[in-house]
Structure 1
Amino acid sequence: MTVLTDLVRRLHARRLRARLVGAALPRHVAMVMDGNRRWARQMGFDDPSVGHRYGAAHLHEVAGWCAELGIRQITLFVASVDNVRKRESGEVAHLMRLVEEVIAEPLLRPDSPWRLHVAGRTEVLPESTRHALKLAEDATRDRDRGFHLTVAIGYDGRVEITDAVRNLLHEAAENGVTLREVADHLTEEAIGAHLYTGSRPHPDLVIRTSGERRMSGFLLWQAVHSELYFCDVYWPGFRKLDFLRALRTYTTRP
C-alpha cells in the first residue's frame, strides 16, 4: 500500500510539474519551516529535538527543488530571537550545532550554487554559529550563478524595522544631517535599504508549514504584498508534491 501511495504521489507531482511549464512562477519564495518537533513526535522519536536535524537537512532538498524550477531567491525562517533566547538551553545548543553543521557547512561545497545571506541579530547567536555563518557568507560571496539563499536566524520582523530606523538615524547623524531633515525626507525606500535584507527582492510567495495560520513576525515589511500559502504538513514531511501545490495555487491567484 505504501509503494502504491508513493507511486500515485509521484505521478501527481509529475502532472503538477507539467502544468507549471510556462506559468509565471514566483521569483522569490520565503518559507517558515515550522513543525520539526511535532513531526518527530508524530514519527515516534523519543527526543522531539531530533526533528530539528531532519528539518535542517530538508532545507537543502527544498532549495534543490527551487533551483530545478528556476526560483533563484529563497528566504528561510530558521529561528526567531525568542527561539534563541527563551527556549531550553540544551535545545538551543542542539539547534545551533545543526545550523553550523547541516546548514552552513554544505553551502561551502563547490557544487552548491547558492550565495548565502544572513538576516537577523546574529549577536544573540553563539560565537561558533556566528563564525560558521560568516564563513559561509564570505565563501559564497563571489558566486555568480544568481541563486540567493537568505537564512533568517535570530530574526524578528519588528526588531528588524526598529534596527533599520535606528541605523538610518545613526547614519544621518554621522553625516551631519539633522533630525528634522531626516523626517522631511524619510521614505519607504530609505527604511527598506537599511533592513537586514537590504535591496534584495521582496518575496512573491510565503509558505508556512505545520498548519499554523500566522506570520509570527516573519518579513513583516517585505511580505506586505506577498501571496501567503499555509500547509498542514510539518516541515520535515514537506514533500515536493506539497511544494508544487503551493506553486500551483500561486499561479492561479489573480
Structure 2
Amino acid sequence: MNTSHIAFICKDSAAWALKKKKKLYEGYRASFKKINELLGMQIKKNIPIMTVFISPKNLELPNEYSALVDELVVFMNELGADKTIHNNRVKISVLGKWYEMPPRLIESIKKLIDQTKEYDEYFLNLCINYDGQEEIVDAARMVARRVKLGKIDPENITKDAIKDDLYSSYFMPPDIIFVSGKRQSTYGFLLWDSVDSKIVFMNKAFCEIPIRLIEKHLKKKKAE
C-alpha cells in the first residue's frame, strides 16, 4: 500500500549539540536542515503529506527556548524563499498554538503560510508550541459550542465530528511515525490520529537519522 502521510518527532537537538561540543543553535539548525532533506525525499517518493513535531508547549529551559525561536525565524524565512517549496507547490501549515510565540516568530509564520496558501501538490505540517492533549480538548470545546447553540445533538457526536475540529482536520492520519531521540515516547503527538499508525523508534538525534534508513522503513511498510 502506498504511503500517504509520514510524520516525525524531532528530538535531542540540544543533546546532540552538547555531545558534539557545538552551540545550542547549531543543534536546531542541523535539525531544520534534516527537515529540508526529508522534504526532498517526500517529493521524490511522491508522499502527499509530511508532519514534523518541532516543539512542545512550555520548553522549560529559557536558553533552549530563545535559541529555538531564533532558529525557527530563520527557518521559516528560508522555507519561504526555497525554490523547492514553490516549484513543487508545497503548502505549509503550522499546527499548535504558535500564535502564543514571540511576535517575530508569529510574523514569519504568517508570511510563510500566506506564501504557500494556494499550493496543493504536497503538504508540510510543522507542529510548533504543540500539545496533543490540548488539540483534543480544543476540538471538544468546539463541539460543545455547537451543542450549546443547538447545531448538533449530543447523541449525534461521532468520531468524525471530533476529527473535524482537530488541528489536523484536513489531513488523513499518518501511516508511520518516526520518533527520534533516546526516549521511547510519542510525546502526545497526534494522539487522535495515531491510533493505527506504525511507530518506529530511531534511537538517534533527529539530525542524525539517515535518509536511507527512513526509506528502508517506508519500503518495509509498503510491503506489509
Q: Partners in 1 of 2:84 and 2:197 — Cα distance?
A: 31
- The aligned counterpart of 1:204 is 175
Q: Cα offset for 1:252?
A: 4.2
- The structure-2 alpha-carbon separation of the partners of 1:154 and 1:70, relative to structure 1 and needing over 3 Å to count, comes to same
User: Which amino acid in the other structure matches residue 193 of structure 1?
Assistant: D
- The aligned counterpart of 2:154 is 183
| Comparing 73-82 and 32-41, the one that deviates more | 32-41
Aligned-residue Cα RMSD (Å) equals 1.8
Q: Deviations over 1:88-109 (max 9, x none)?
A: 2232122112112114532343
Q: Cα offset for 1:147?
A: 0.3
Q: Cα offset for 1:165?
A: 0.8
- The aligned counterpart of 2:32 is 56
Q: Partners in 2 of 1:103 and 1:207 — Cα distance?
A: 22
| Comparing 208-217 and 187-196, the one that deviates more | 208-217
- The aligned counterpart of 1:109 is 82
Identity %: 21
User: Which amino acid in the other structure matches residue 60 of structure 1?
Assistant: N
User: Which amino acid in the other structure matches residue 95 of structure 1?
Assistant: L
With normalisation by structure 2, the TM-score equals 0.91
Matches within 5 A, 1:1-254: 24-45=1-22, 47-83=23-59, 87-112=60-85, 113=88, 114-144=90-120, 146-173=121-148, 176-177=149-150, 182-253=153-224
> After TM superposition, what 4+ stretches of structure 1 lie above 6 angstroms from structure 2?
none
Structure 2: which 5+ runs fail to align? none
* Number of equivalent positions: 221
Q: Partners in 1 of 2:168 and 2:181 — Cα distance?
A: 25
Structure of larger gyration radius: 1
Secondary structure of the residue aligned to 2:220 is: helix
Q: Partners in 1 of 2:220 and 2:21 — Cα distance?
A: 32
User: Which amino acid in the other structure matches residue 105 of structure 1?
Assistant: E
- Check conservation: 1:31, 1:206, Cα contact below 8 A: yes
User: Which amino acid in the other structure matches residue 185 of structure 1?
Assistant: N
Q: Partners in 2 of 1:139 and 1:49 — Cα distance?
A: 26
- Check conservation: 2:10, 2:31, Cα contact below 8 A: yes
Secondary structure of the residue aligned to 2:136 is: helix
Q: Partners in 1 of 2:218 and 2:182 — Cα distance?
A: 17
With normalisation by structure 1, the TM-score equals 0.81
Q: Cα offset for 1:189?
A: 0.5
Secondary structure of the residue aligned to 1:82 is: coil
Q: Deviations over 1:134-154 (max 9, x none)?
A: 11111101113x100001111
Q: Cα offset for 1:172?
A: 4.1
Q: Partners in 1 of 2:182 and 2:220 — Cα distance?
A: 16
